[in-house]
Amino acid sequence: MSRPGRAANRAADLLFLPPLDRLWLRRLRGKVLCLLYHRVDRPGREAFLDRFGVPPIPPDDLAAELSVLQRRGARFLTYADLRAGRFPSGSEFGVIVSFDDGLRCNYEEGMEVLRSLAIPAVFFQSTAMHAGGELVWEHALYWYGAHPTLAPRLEELARRRLDLPADLDGEAMIARLRDGTPVVRVRELLAELAERWGTAGELAAAAERLYPTGAHLRRAREAGHELGSHGHHHVPRCSVTIEEFEAELSRSAARLEQVLGEAPRAFSYPFNSHLPGDAEICGRHYLQVATVDGALVTRATPALDLPRFTWPGPHANRLRRRRWLCTGTLAWPGR
């Protein structure tokens, strides 16, 4: 964005001064604002996730955001509420708070915030992320990429095995491997690194620290939260075949049913990666599908295409926070 554009965007924050709340809330009436968070944690606790993953939202910041919506009179819902026909009337607005991936901190730090405010939420769990297992491919990639001595080994091996440009390194290399390389090839690289450098134990220790147990999931459900599927291995749809994609759907549903005693009814796409026709495939396994396609949910919104707004990262000021909570975006014009 150009300098004048940035200045105009900052000036637009003034449109979200408290006296103007009534105008913005009118836009939300009769609709549902679905918010997506990934990691409720304090920056610095997991350096490799901070560097390459989605930035964490500190618990106090999450509490402040949800408190703003609560004071505005939001009716907090889950996807199960929508399935049951509980939709906000024309004089109120709904909010669904959701978490993707399924890191342990969401079930600990995040749930404590939700408990303190008496707000229900939806946890979309990638079922390969469980304590006592191993890091999923994406997190293992970040771990190697942030390692002071093994990051160059990863880059060297990737260039040799995948014929990547010699000047590709650092964050650009990680992005290429994550977003532009078939997952099966990335897994092969990671397996070779683990075998060569004996890192399996360290990766397992990180998984034990980062991922939830079955007890975490059951406590969340007992507290009134909904558990949905975020696939099994957290793979982008564009990196797998139709058969592999459907196997991810069914395996995740079966794993969650085994832990919770009931099958999940909602699914969210990892990386928001989806292709034409995927909703029909998802519909064979789930009743609802959540995207991150940035729009409000109305009564007419298809159950297999429920859009959300993803948290944009730390806010520059309180007006910027209000802007995100009113519109779901920091771009202008908001949708």
Average pLDDT over all residues of the chain: 93
Per-residue model confidence (pLDDT) at position 333: 44
Only one residue has tokens 């909602």, namely 266
What is the rounded distance in angstroms from the CA atom of residue 106 to the CA atom of residue 131?
14
Per-residue model confidence (pLDDT) at position 6: 64
pLDDT exceeds cutoff 90 at 1 = no
CB 221 within 8 A of CB 212: no
Strands (E), 242-326: 266-268, 288-290, 309-310
DSSP lists the bridge partners of residue 32 as 94, 297
CB 96 within 8 A of CB 117: no
pLDDT exceeds cutoff 70 at 298 = yes
Only one residue has tokens 């990386």, namely 271
What is the rounded distance in angstroms from the CA atom of residue 97 to the CA atom of residue 117?
12
Per-residue model confidence (pLDDT) at position 58: 97
Measuring CA to CA, how many Å separate 32 from each of 70, 86, 153? 14, 11, 47
CB 128 within 8 A of CB 183: no
> pLDDT class for 332, splitting at 50, 70, 90?
low
pTM score, whole prediction:
0.94
Using one digit for the tens of pLDDT, what is the confidence trace for 2-49? Answer: 666 566 767 888 888 888 888 888 999 999 999 999 999 999 999 999
Q: Is the peptide bond before 264 cis (omega within 30 degrees of 0)?
A: no
pLDDT exceeds cutoff 90 at 63 = yes
Using one digit for the tens of pLDDT, what is the confidence trace for 199-230? Answer: 999 999 999 999 999 999 999 999 999 999 99
Q: Which of 196, 100, 192, 206 is nearest to 143 (CA)?
A: 206
Using one digit for the tens of pLDDT, what is the confidence trace for 143-158? Answer: 999 999 999 999 999 9
Per-residue model confidence (pLDDT) at position 23: 87
Quote the Cα angle for 134-254-33, to 5°.
90
CB 286 within 8 A of CB 229: yes
Per-residue model confidence (pLDDT) at position 335: 37
Radius of gyration of the chain (CA): 20
Per-residue model confidence (pLDDT) at position 334: 39
Backbone φ/ψ region at 198: left (φ over 0), alpha (ψ -120 to 50), beta: left
Only one residue has tokens 């948290």, namely 311
CB 88 within 8 A of CB 30: yes
What is the rounded distance in angstroms from the CA atom of residue 222 to the CA atom of residue 213?
15
Strands (E), 32-145: 32-37, 75-77, 94-99, 122-125
Measuring CA to CA, how many Å separate 2 from each of 6, 323, 330, 331? 6, 21, 16, 13
Per-residue model confidence (pLDDT) at position 2: 64
Estimate to the nearest angstrom the gap between the alpha carbon of 326 and the chain centroid.
Answer: 20
Using one digit for the tens of pLDDT, what is the confidence trace for 122-145? Answer: 999 999 999 988 999 999 999 999
Q: Which of 21, 113, 31 is nearest to 64 (CA)?
A: 113
Over residues 320-334, mean pLDDT? 76
Per-residue model confidence (pLDDT) at position 12: 84
Q: Which amino acid is it at 266? A: A
Per-residue model confidence (pLDDT) at position 322: 87
Per-residue model confidence (pLDDT) at position 8: 72
Strands (E), 105-230: 122-125, 226-229
